[in-house]
A and B are shown apart, each in its own frame.
Chain A
Amino acid sequence: MTLREIQKLLEAEVFAGSQHLDREISHAFAADLLSDVLAIARRGAEGAMLVTGNQTLQVIYTADVVDLGAILFVRGKRPNESMVQLANEMHIPLLMTNYIMFETCGRLYQHGLKGCVEKVEDESD
């Protein structure tokens, strides 16, 4: 799916990276803990979309260091001005939907988006 299709599907508002809406997103994952984001990205999440409720500058830095393709904020959580500015500098598209996390993930999955990791091997993985 392209970001534009995702935007339409989730009636999302675009806060940064509107010039990148043709970007193809094939994988996504959802996390609020940034250490979880980093742990998942360890296996490769390049170009994936992060679905999150985390509203910090650090979520943008995290997305940058592991080369995520976009960040989608759920539950109507608007990124603030400094987050938008940093995301623009780092060319990371920021979208925001009013759907809750569960609905957001469900709708994306239904439309063919896959998780960037299906499951971990065991607790210590």
Chain B
Amino acid sequence: MNQTEERYPFYRTFQIEGGNFTNAGSISSQVKRILKEEGFPGQVIRRMAIATFEAEMNVICYARWGILNLLVSNDFLKVVVDDEGVGIQDVNLAMKEGFSTADERIRELGFGAGMGLSNIKKVTDEMVLTSVVNQGTHLEFTINVKNGDFS
């Protein structure tokens, strides 16, 4: 990456520790700051921040560890999350609003209502979710920068 001539694309990698709820949300907060510093439109940043927050919580709640990659380019923003964990038995079912396997601890934090994945779907332009039970989950989502006026 040659930052002096061409700033984009660049990427940032974040490690997420499963089960560590203390700073859950801090990566999304960092992602938001990066995008703000880069001067992306507010609506684009908000949508990215919401989707990233849900994705970060999913790893913390359901996986042993995960890696979140943020790709920043002129035309689109992309997040790819890979985790090692219990995985998702039925991806279609998991996408359904209200479906949840959350335990009491997760619910105490105000999550686990079964809205996370559908929230991600609603705020992003493209979303891909695949999973292998007892191995892990792969999630990626994209938001087009030019299409920032999404309502």
- For window 75-125 of A, CB contacts with B under 8 Å fall at 90, 123-124
Q: CB-nearest residue of chain B relative to A60?
A: B25
Instruction: Please name all residues of chain A whose beta carbon is closer than 8 Å to the beta carbon of B97 when the two chains form the complex.
Output: 123-124
A side interface size, CB within 8 A: 28
Q: B interface, how many residues as a size bin?
A: 20 to 34
B residues lining the A interface (CB < 8 Å): 21-26, 28-29, 32, 42-43, 46-47, 49-50, 52-54, 57, 97, 108-111, 113, 115-116, 119, 122-123, 151
Q: In the complex, what residues of A have CB within 8 A of residue B111's CB?
A: 33-35, 58
Interface residues of A (CB under 8 A from B): 32-39, 41-44, 46, 54, 56-62, 64-67, 90, 123-124
9 A-B pairs whose Cβ atoms sit less than 8 Å apart in the complex: A35-B116, A38-B119, A41-B50, A42-B46, A54-B110, A57-B22, A61-B25, A65-B29, A65-B49
Inter-chain contacts of A60 with B (CB < 8 A):
25
Query: B53, A39: Cβ atoms under 8 Å?
Result: no
Complex contact A39–B49 (CB within 8 A): no
List chain B residues, Cβ under 8 A from A64. 25, 29, 32
Shortest Cβ distance from residue A71 to the other chain B in the assembled complex, whole angstroms: 13
Beyond known contacts A33-B110, A42-B47, A90-B29: 6 more, CB 8 A cutoff: A35-B54, A36-B115, A44-B43, A57-B24, A58-B25, A61-B53
The distance in angstroms between the C-alpha atoms of A64 and B52, with both chains bound, is: 13
